Structure 1
Amino acid sequence: MYWLSRHRMLLLTILVMVGGTVLCAVAAGHYAWRRALGDESSQVQRQLQLYGQGLQQRIDRFGTLPQVLALDPDLLHALRVPPSPSERQRLNLKLQRANEVTRASTLTLVGHDGVAVAASNWDQPTTNVGENYSYRPYYRQALAQGRGRFYGIGMTTGVPGYYLSQAIEEDGKRLGVVVIKVELSALEQEWLSSPDVVLASDDHDVVFLANRDSWRYRLLRPLGAHERREMLDARQYADRALQPLRARTEDVLADGGRMVRLLDPALPQPMLWQSLSLPAEGWNLHLLHDASAATAAGRAAALTGGAAWLALGFLVLFVQQRRRLAKHRLRSRRELETLLKQHAQELRTAQDGLLQAATDADSGLSRSLEHLPQGVVVIDRELRLVAWNSRYLELFRFPQDLVRVGRPIEELFRFNARRGLLGPGPVDEAIERRLNHLRSGRPHMRESEKDDGTVLEIRGNPLPDGGFVTSYADITSYKNAARELRSLADALEHRIAERTHDLDEARREAEQANRYKTRFVASAVHDLLQPLNAARMFVSVLRGKLSDPAQQQTSDHIDAALAAQDAILNSLLDISRLESGSLQIRVRTFALSPLLETLAREFGIAAQSRGLQLDWVDTRAVVVSDEALLRRILQNFLSNALRYTPRGRVLIGCRRAGDQLRIEVHDQGPGIPESLQGEIFEEFRRLNDGVEQERGAGLGLA
């Protein structure tokens, strides 16, 4: 008990320090964790919206294709009257050509009895022709509602895809269904570049798309008996075993996000789960993000909060310790006074020697003071002159007979007062004020400006036995330079602030305009591609009905013009993706020879039609690049070479340059002036080359 009572204050202090540190650390860590988690949740939502837009755009690209095919008279005739083998073969070829143009997976014509009449994969071992699809929901939905949508695994091909169906009608009677299958596996490949887990689930909460194989075909919730029976009847996922996705929710955020702990598939850290509804398809898009950064921010904030409390506690202890030390100083002051008296006696002895040396000088000029750049004057306790230097006489221009040893300093003050050097006001008061200051023995430092603009720095220090030493330094040049530098610095600071503000405003306006432009281009290209693809389908259908060669040639010209327009829109879309940073780049190692051979074969026909000769040089080189983007660049080079070469030869090949490879396209066109070579890489920039019949958009090299 005695020990506790004696150390009670120490224990209380330790308790307050430790308890406050823990409370501050917990509060700061929790606040920082929630704030960082909210920021990451907002970022995840924006990323999820981008994934949703990409998925919806891929589906919308094929949305009008079933409607266009449903208007084809050949398909209607095949459903009205059973086709002969030759007619069926023509239907198969038509669907195959349409499938090659639209780049879908398969196109299938299904009769009223659910049996496939024709299909684009008629020549494959897993052809749809002759298969019964009456149990599929997309078939039933099309016959009942006119159109249908369904995601499932193909029973014939075993390949999953999204089925879009449209009923073919005649006089209000639905004779059959045309079905297009869209494979979404390419979308999963794009998701692989994301470090997060990206999932897509259907209306039964079954995961059918995922960027990780172990997450595909997982149940997000238990299925009811009716739902299981419906999926089995439709054979939606064939023989895939649907395993439950086991997760435990640890926290729910204000924006609907959740912090979950994944048990199966197991993940070592908690994940931030955000979902996005796709009402047009009845799907949900999910993104699982690693929230370790928010946890680390919370820990750092906890450490900072605890450290701040400890610093505050130590500051309080420091102030208390300072108070204790002040009491100790008061007790020891008497001891120090004795020591000061001893030092004062020693200084007095030294001052006596100094005064004796000054008295010995005949004229009062001290040789020991002559080397100083300041004017110096020494007076004794009776306020009489003892010593001075020549600089002191130069600064005040005293007469020769005025300054001498033993002269009272008051007479020098009155002489300066008559010249107006003591400032305005009564002369006697100014002199008395200066004399009282010298008698007080207090050191001082001040600045004084004379009528001619000279600025003096005056420093005074008392001597141990009552005398005084005063120095006068001319600081006029220093003060003038300081004023000029200060004025220049203020002007420069003002100009820098104005330029910085203008640059910030210009940068913000440029960034805002660039974002608006990127969004507008992406939206405009997306809206233009749908009618453009539909127009190409109509042209393809129209060409199949034309027998006149001249009309077929006109149809080919229309299709070529639409293809060129599609290339321009794709170039605009690529530029928009590059500026927004969303263009996926897949760098890998591949041989260059097949790419050059393919380009030479594709552009060789166009070269022959223009009367040109296109040659290529074979190579065994292997490069590391994005094959699709490199192909696009070389296509633009070859297209420009053929467009601007009126006659002669075009050559494509490569040559080594150290560890690098240089791919070159040579033509016999007019060339580009060296002064304009920097402009050809700008968007919508095209030189005035005189080739008016081959006007491009100016995007190939941009």
Structure 2
Amino acid sequence: MTTPAAASHSEGLVRRHARLWIALILAWLVVTTTAAYGLGETARKGASAELARQSESAAALHAAVLRSELEKYRALAPAMATDADVARLLLSSRPDPAMLNQRLEALADQTRASAIYVIGTDGVTRAASNWRQPISFIGADYSFRPYFVKAMRDGSAEFFALGTVSGTPGLFLARRVVDGNRAIGVVVVKVEFDALEAEWRASGEPAYVVDPGGVVLITSIPTWRFRTLRPMDAESRRLTLADQTLGDGALTPLPFQTPDNGATRLIEAPLDGVDRPWMHARIDTMTPGWTLHLLTPDRGAIETSVANARVLAALIATLAFGVAAVLLRRRQQAVVRQRAAEAARQELERRIEERTRDLRQANVALNRQIEERMRAEASREALRDELVQAGKLAALGQIAAGVAHEINQPVAAIRTQAETASAYLERAQEAKAVRALGRIGELTARIGAITQELRAFSRKSEPQLRPVSLNEAIDGALLLLGGRLRQGGVRLVRARGGDVQVIADRFRLEQVIVNLMQNAAEALEGRADGRIHLTVRRVGELVELRIADNGPGVADSIRDQLFTPFLTSKANGLGLGLVICRDLVAGFGGELDLRPAETGAVFVVSLKAA
């Protein structure tokens, strides 16, 4: 019976435990959220920094390719400005540009320049590499082009614009031609960047080159050409449109904001109609005022790193709080058990005070039950000992039956050798008698080894596996069975080859060979042409010992259960020989099988080669 005070105390304990669990869950939520956010942001910074390093390296590589491309052409205009044929053409009153046109055409083909042309002081083109083409520059007036004006004034000029004749964008490299101290014309090399832009486009990283005014000149995205990093005022826009011969649709801002400070950071840029994050990198080029901008795709690497970090943080926090929850649960269970024990003790004391007489009667009854239980426990122990002894006797009976099956042949051989030794002694042939007695000693040692295995049954000792000569094991087995085979008229055919080492226990391997040959000999009883074939061969990492006879073979009715204990076709057999042999071979790490044969039975022992 539970008192009101105990019930109230139990309810208070439940409420305290519930508050602890709520606090633990809230702490888990707070810590998990904080850790996931913090570790995610750390991972975001690390992934962004790595992407920024990759983007800066790629931008430097793009700038190096651009610089290499420009250096091929920057030396071409000064070289042509000092050419005698160019000066002769510009100074002649009746010029014939045919030969110079051919030279310029060949030079443009060799250098892959878009066009090379010579302009007089009046701004009219005298000779050009594209003189054969429909868009030939010969006769075109370029006196208004900024690169002509600046070259005539300063000696050289570089200007990126649309061609007035070809309509294609390119970089115009101009060099003044002088005769003494007098300017007589300008040589211009036009460079187009179609191949370079195609390479950038194939890399999958949008790149664009911007002039000092913020106008995109070279780009892997054709729609970005002649757009600006930021809006231009009306006057600057008018002058740039005029200088670069652009249409009214040019000089509009790019569809994304380029960082003003040139820092490498993530931006949002719409490509293929979808806003995606790109890592923006900027690097100066060798051309004054030109800067190269590169957008490296994020490809979800940053968000993947953030997600992985947050999942890891959540797992760690959950694991830590899971351990805390287990500890809290154990502590609460301990407190509950302690409270329950205290309550039981108090209840017991109350009942002792109220029912002392009933307790004494119950104590007497309990003593009687204890005595009965002790007697039952003693009976159970005795019964268990009997069962253990019975199990041991059954196991020893099986082992003894198998050992008796194997010792029969050595005992018979000992008797034969003893009779032989006696006969030799009667004939005064001491040397042969000594050999016979030595064989008796060997057979006695063999019997001792078998009985030692029986004594070691209780210790369950493992066989001593080591490299063993298979020929020596066969010789030992034949020593036991030679007389039996001769008496039975069984001819042994043994293919003796080189010595082969196998992993086995010497005595147990001999026991297997003896048992299998004994079975073969018994199967050949009564046959005049009985033969047993012993063959040893190497198969990969295994060594196979084949024991074949020409007897009646194994009946189909027992072939599938041949290795089942106590299953035998012999009148006086125990059905343990083959079972023991297979277990011994398995202990060596090998296999014992019955192979199909046209006549007789073929048993194969497969062992690991040493």
Per the shorter chain, which TM-score range? 0.5 to 0.7
Matching of residue 285 in structure 1 with residue 292 in structure 2: yes
User: Residue 270 of structure 1: CA displacement?
Assistant: 2.6
1:175 paired residue among 169, 178, 184: 184
Report whether the alignment pairs 1:477 with 2:488: no
The reply to whether residue 352 of structure 1 matches residue 382 of structure 2 is yes
Could you tell me how far 1:127 is from its partner in structure 2?
2.2
Tell me the secondary structure at the aligned position of residue 180 of structure 1.
Answer: strand
Q: 2:302 matched to 1:294?
A: yes
Pick 1 or 2: higher relative contact order, CA cutoff 8 A, min separation 6. Answer: 2
Is the Cα contact below 8 Å between 2:241 and 2:248 reproduced in 1?
no
Name the counterpart of 2:318. 310
Distance 1:248 1:342 in 2: 95
The structural deviation recorded for 1:134 is 2.5
Matched, 1:54 2:62: no
Counterparts of 1:217-232 in structure 2, within 5 Å, are 217-224=226-233, 227-228=236-237, 230-232=239-241
Using the TM superposition, give the Cα deviation of residue 119 of structure 1 relative to its aligned residue in structure 2, in angstroms.
1.2
Please name the residue that 1:417 is paired with: none
Which string of whole-angstrom CA distances, capped at 9 and with x for unpartnered residues, describes residues 490-530 of structure 1? xxxxxxxxxxxxxxxxxxxxxxxxxxxxxxxxxxxxxxxxx
The amino acid across from 1:296 in the alignment is: T
Q: Which residue of 1 aligns with 2:516?
A: none
Give the direction of change, closer, same or farther, for the CA distance of 1:349–1:228 in structure 2 (3 Å limit): same
Question: Aligned equivalents of 2:102 and 2:214: distance in 1?
Answer: 38
Deviations 1:275-299 (A, max 9, x none): 1211334311111223232122212
Check the 8 A contact 1:66/1:165 in 2, yes or no.
yes
Alignment of 1:319-398 (within 5 A): 319-326=327-334, 348-353=378-383, 367-368=393-394, 370=396
Aligned ranges 1:116-265 → 2 under 5 Å? 116-224=125-233, 227-228=236-237, 230-237=239-246, 239-248=248-257, 256-262=263-269
After TM superposition, the structure 1 stretch with the greater mean CA deviation from structure 2, 106-115 or 163-172, is 163-172
Secondary structure, counterpart of 1:300 in structure 2: helix
Determine the structure 1 residue equivalent to 2:83.
Answer: 72
- Output the CA distance in 2 between the equivalents of 1:321 and 1:161: 77
Q: What's the CA shift for 1:369?
A: 5.8
Q: Distance in 2 between matches of 1:259 and 1:155?
A: 38
Per the alignment, in what secondary structure is the counterpart of residue 125 of structure 1?
coil
Q: Corresponding residue for 1:39?
A: 50
SS at match of 2:281: strand
Distance of aligned partners of 1:133 and 1:250 in 2 relative to their CA distance in 1, 3 Å threshold: closer
In the TM superposition, 1:592-607 aligns within 5 A as: none
**TM-score, scaled to structure 2:** 0.54
SS of the aligned residue for 2:86 comes to helix
Deviation, structure 1 residue 171 = 2.1
Which has the larger Rg? Answer: 2
Question: Over residues 20-39 of structure 1, what are the superposed CA-to-partner deviations in whole Å (9 max), with x where a residue is unaligned?
Answer: 12111111111111111111
CA contact (8 A) 1:251 1:258 kept: no
Residue type of the partner of 2:35? C
**Residues 258 and 272 in structure 1, CA contact (< 8 A), matched pair in contact too:** yes
Root-mean-square deviation (Å): 4.4
SS in 1 for 2:157: strand
Q: Give yes or no for contact 1:251–1:260 (8 Å, CA) kept in 2.
A: no
1:29 aligns with 2:16: no
* 2-structure distance, mates of 1:328, 1:319: 14
Change in CA separation of 1:251 and 1:35 when aligned onto 2, cut-off 3 Å: farther
- 2:42 match: secondary structure: helix
CA distance in 2: counterparts of 1:476 and 1:344, whole angstroms: 45
Instruction: Please state whether the residue corresponding to 1:58 is helix, strand or coil.
Output: helix
Aligned equivalent of 1:276, options 269, 277, 283:
283
CA distance in 1, matches of 2:18, 2:294: 58
Which secondary structure does the structure 1 equivalent of 2:459 belong to? strand
| Matched residue, 2:577 | none
User: What's the offset of the Cα at 1:163?
Assistant: 1.1
Which residue identity does 1:21 align to in structure 2?
Answer: T
How far 1:477 moved relative to its partner? 3.2
Instruction: Give 2:382's aligned amino acid.
Output: D
The 3 A distance-change label for structure 1 pair 94 and 370 is: same
> Contact 1:108–1:116 at 8 Å: present in 2 too?
yes
| Structure-2 change in CA distance of 1:109 and 1:321 (3 Å) | same
Q: For the residues of structure 2 that align with 1:340 and 1:83, how far apart are their CA atoms?
A: 142
Tell me, what secondary structure is at the counterpart of 2:250? coil
Structure 2 unaligned blocks of 5 or more: 1-11, 345-366, 405-452, 468-502, 504-610
The answer to whether the Cα contact below 8 Å between 2:217 and 2:225 also exists between their aligned partners in 1 is yes
CA contact (8 A) 1:108 1:118 kept: yes
Q: In the alignment, what sits opposite 2:25?
A: 14
Give the conservation status (yes or no) of the 8 Å contact 1:155–1:238: no
Letter in 2 for 1:33: R
* In structure 1, distance between residues paired with 2:207 and 2:374: 86
Given that 2:160 and 2:244 are in contact with CA atoms closer than 8 Å, whether structure 1 keeps it comes out as no
Code of the aligned partner of 1:48: A
Return the letter of the residue paired with 1:352: A
8 A Cα contact 2:228 2:253, kept in partner: yes
SS for the counterpart of 2:59 is: helix
State the match for 1:95 in structure 2. Answer: 104
Distance change >3 Å, CA 217–CA 346, structure 1 → 2: farther
Number of aligned residue pairs: 382
Structure 1 unaligned residues grouped into runs of 5+: 375-389, 391-455, 460-469, 486-702
The percent identity for this pair of structures is 26
1:472 CA displacement:
3.0
Task: Note the 1:526-545 alignment, pairs <5 A.
Answer: none
Name the aligned partner's letter for residue 287 of structure 2. Answer: A
d(CA) in 2 for partners of 1:98, 1:299: 58
Q: Which residue of structure 2 lines up, in the alignment, with residue 685 of structure 1?
A: none
Amino acid at match of 2:125: A
